[in-house]
A and B are shown apart, each in its own frame.
Chain A
């Protein structure tokens, strides 16, 4: 069964450093998402992406964050200057179609980001 993959599984970085989290969505999917989950808390929406542009973003997704789909397969989340409070699990998700419609999202296994 096709699945969303994410690398690395764990990233440790120092405060102020830039990190890039990578995701490979399912190949025929068109809508892509980043979520984060602070340990033991709920899943928080960061950004949705369709047709090579951001379709929606949350208040969390400020100027320090950016997303890119540099080629036909990868989908990346960049945090320009990490802060301690960016420590969390970051999940990538994709879905097949229908920006407004009711299709299931497939989540990747996540990247645990630890900022020291």
Chain B
């Protein structure tokens, strides 16, 4: 079945350093969404990408969707302690309702 993998699994950074998580799908996606889950919390929607090669920015966060629509990345510039949490990508194939979540990247930011 469809698999969505993320690397790295964990990342510890010093506050102010950059962070990137990569998401790879075994199938071509129709669209991809990114979620953040704080420790003990629920997933919170960050953004969705639909077009091949799309790049979107939200303040310090930059999201990319690969040309082949099989991979995506989230880059955070100058991390802050409020960025702590697990970042999940969630991909959807064409003709299906379901989103397959990636394995997640847990980010810890050291002050």
Residues on A facing B (Cβ under 8 Å): 31, 35, 42-45, 48, 50, 55-56, 58-59, 91, 99-100, 102, 104-110
B88 touching A43 by the CB < 8 A rule? yes
Residues on the B chain within 8 Å of A43, using CB = 35, 37, 43, 88, 90, 101
How many chain B residues touch the partner (CB < 8 A)? 27
B99 touching A45 by the CB < 8 A rule? yes
Binds A, one of B13-21, B44-52, B56-64, B77-85: B44-52
Q: How far is the CA of A23 from the CA of B42 in the complex (A)?
A: 14
A56 touching B48 by the CB < 8 A rule? no
B42 touching A42 by the CB < 8 A rule? no
Report the nearest B residue to A59, measured CB to CB: B1
Count A/B pairs, Cβ under 8 Å. 58
Residues on B facing A (Cβ under 8 Å): 1, 30-31, 33, 35, 37, 41-45, 48, 50, 88, 90, 92, 94-104
A56 touching B42 by the CB < 8 A rule? no
B103 touching A56 by the CB < 8 A rule? no
A107 touching B98 by the CB < 8 A rule? no
B104 touching A104 by the CB < 8 A rule? no
Report the nearest B residue to A35, measured CB to CB: B101
Would you list 13 pairs from A and B whose C-beta atoms are within 8 A, ordered by A residue? A42-B102, A42-B104, A43-B37, A43-B43, A43-B90, A45-B99, A45-B100, A48-B97, A56-B98, A59-B1, A102-B30, A102-B50, A110-B42
B43 touching A56 by the CB < 8 A rule? no
Q: For the complex of A and B, list the 10 residue pairs with the smallest distance between their C-beta atoms, beginning with the closest.
A: A104-B45, A43-B101, A48-B97, A107-B42, A56-B97, A102-B31, A45-B98, A107-B43, A55-B97, A102-B48
Residues on the B chain within 8 Å of A56, using CB = 96-98
Q: How far is the CA of A94 from the CA of B103 in the complex (A)?
A: 22
B45 touching A106 by the CB < 8 A rule? yes
